[in-house]
Chains A and B, each alone.
Chain A
Amino acid sequence: EAQVTQNPRYLITVTGKKLTVTCSQNMNHEYMSWYRQDPGLGLRQIYYSMNVEVTDKGDVPEGYKVSRKEKRNFPLILESPSPNQTSLYFCASSKAPRGGTEAFFGQGTRLTVV
């Protein structure tokens, strides 16, 4: 079954404690991205990756890091989480970022930073 898997689904952490949210896809997609969703602000792109070792900033990259060492994995790293990073996070993958292709989303990670 084609899918994007995020872990963990829920996470409560304290300010400043480094954390990683993993994302893995089994469709051999080149393009992967991370979004955060906040009430009233909708889904906003954090980072994206066009392929292995190729990453770039999205609309709200501050406070986040990513890496793409393998095609299937695209972890989101919060080096020093802060309460304003409390949000619902989604990972997505697609064959290409261009129009004409379908994106698959993970089930989300609800992060609370206290």
Chain B
Amino acid sequence: DAKTTQPPSMDCAEGRAANLPCNHSTISGNEYVYWYRQIHSQGPQYIIHGLKNNETNEMASLIITEDRKSSTLILPHATLRDTAVYYCIVMGTGTASKLTFGTGTRLQVTL
């Protein structure tokens, strides 16, 4: 599975959009981009995933570049409860595929 690169930390004002970038330049054609987050020491929580097209759900939007080498997770109206570590993970479709967590981006939402 491809590796990902994320900034170690970001700040965002409450009510503003939080845009979290991720580079995955070695991604292959059948690999999905996943985003999870971990609030304090709770279990990781699934946010969204995509293959090629942009995706949106009730939590966030995922924008994947046309060459698929990078993506951005967008939290449209960040709240204090969105303060967490956000993990971008690339995962293939083979039977040996697994979620491999890197160090993620620590998002701090402030008043």
Contacts and interface: CB of A to CB of B under 8 A. Distances in A.
Interface residues of B, number: 27
B43 A98 contact: no
Contacts of A43: 44, 101
Contacts of A44: 101
Interface stretch (A60-68, A70-78, A105-113): A105-113
A88 interface: yes
Given A98-B94, A99-B93, A100-B49, A42 B41 contact: no
Contacts of A90: 43-44
B17 interface: no
B7 interface: no
Given A43-B44, A105-B43, A105-B45, A97 B98 contact: yes
A6 B97 CA distance: 24
Contacts of A104: 46
Interface of B: 30-32, 34, 36, 41-46, 49, 51, 91-104
Given A4-B43, A107-B42, 10 more contacts: A33-B98, A35-B101, A42-B103, A43-B44, A45-B98, A45-B99, A98-B97, A104-B46, A105-B43, A105-B44
Instruction: Name the 9 nearest CB pairs between A and B, nearest first.
Output: A105-B43, A99-B32, A43-B101, A98-B93, A99-B91, A102-B46, A99-B93, A105-B44, A42-B101
